[in-house]
A = this chain, B = another copy of it.
Amino acid sequence: MTLSKKGRKCMRLAELSERSGVPIPTIKYYLRERLLPPGHRISARQAEYDEGHLRRLRLVRALIQVGRMPVATAREVLAAVADDDLDPHRRFGAAVWAIPDAPEPDEGDPAVDAACRAADALLEQLGWTFGREVGAQSPAYRMVVSGIATMVRLGYPCDVGQLLPYGRSAAELAVADLDLVEGYEPGEEQVEAAVALTVLYEPVLLGLRRLAQAEESNRRFG
């Protein structure tokens, strides 16, 4: 590892690959797709990368490999992460906002209408005023509505009383998420971590829920 002119620790492509666990051809592909900013040229054929590249590469990997995001969507998320005109809340919001979600629900579909009413009643009971303000503009809100609408269509229960415990657990999860995020340097690093941790904790959370169901089922019926 060497120090660049600006005093940043620098590394070559091989070391960037080793430290991130991402193969060199994949890194080259991300560079070509402009998901990763170009390295600092040190000769006509060689470039060096810094800790910012490493962090960005980890985020790209999380979005594409775990979040199964198309390259174009990942590029949008990264643009929001890098937009330093925004304050931290807006920047974080814009980045999580761009994470892909359920398809746009059909207006006029009675199941979607019922799901919107259930979601709005849920947000009100939870006191989530920010979510109620942004409402249907928010991809996360649409994701919730689309998931509830599927249950309505299939005849599974999802009124406010049944949704409420899930909302309460989500609020606790968000506290854990933001506690982790606050461990990072404010600014781009923090926003990058927020987006990566949102995506990376999803499979862990869903797996833990299934394990917890087995515990609870064993306790009740075992």
Task: Point out residues on A near B: beta carbons under 8 Å.
Answer: 19-21, 54, 58, 61-62, 65-66, 87-89, 92-93, 96, 99, 101-102, 111, 123, 128-131, 134, 138-144, 146-148, 150-151, 153-158, 162-163, 165-180, 182-183, 193-194, 196-198, 200-218, 220-222
Report how many copies the assembly holds.
Answer: 2
In-complex Cβ contact of A214 among B61, B62, B87, B138 (8 A): B138
- Considering the chains assembled together, what is the distance between the CA atoms of A168 and B131 in angstroms? 24
A61 touches B130 (CB 8 A): no
Do A207 and B169 have beta carbons less than 8 Å apart?
A: no
**Top 4 A-B pairs, shortest CB-CB distance:** A143-B207, A140-B210, A174-B212, A165-B176
| Whole-angstrom CA separation of A148 from B162 in the bound complex | 30
Contact B198 A213 (CB under 8 A): yes
**Across-interface contacts of A134 in B (CB, < 8 A):** 214
A21: which B residues are within 8 A, CB to CB?
A: 111, 153-154
Known contacts A141-B211, A193-B156: A173-B165 contact under CB 8 Å: yes
Contact across chains for B200 and A151 when beta carbons are under 8 A apart = yes
Chain B, residue nearest A179 (CB): B165
B131 near A174 with CB under 8 A, answer no
A179 contacts which chain B residues (CB < 8 A)? 165
Check B167–A169 contact: CB distance below 8 A.
no
With A and B bound together, what is the CA distance between A171 and B217 in angstroms? 11
- In the assembled complex, the CB of A120 is this many whole angstroms from the nearest CB of chain B, namely 12
Task: Sample 24 A-B pairs with CB under 8 A, ordered by A number.
Answer: A58-B155, A61-B154, A66-B150, A89-B217, A89-B221, A93-B214, A93-B217, A96-B213, A102-B207, A123-B211, A128-B215, A134-B214, A140-B208, A140-B214, A142-B207, A146-B203, A146-B207, A147-B204, A156-B196, A166-B176, A166-B205, A169-B176, A177-B209, A202-B206
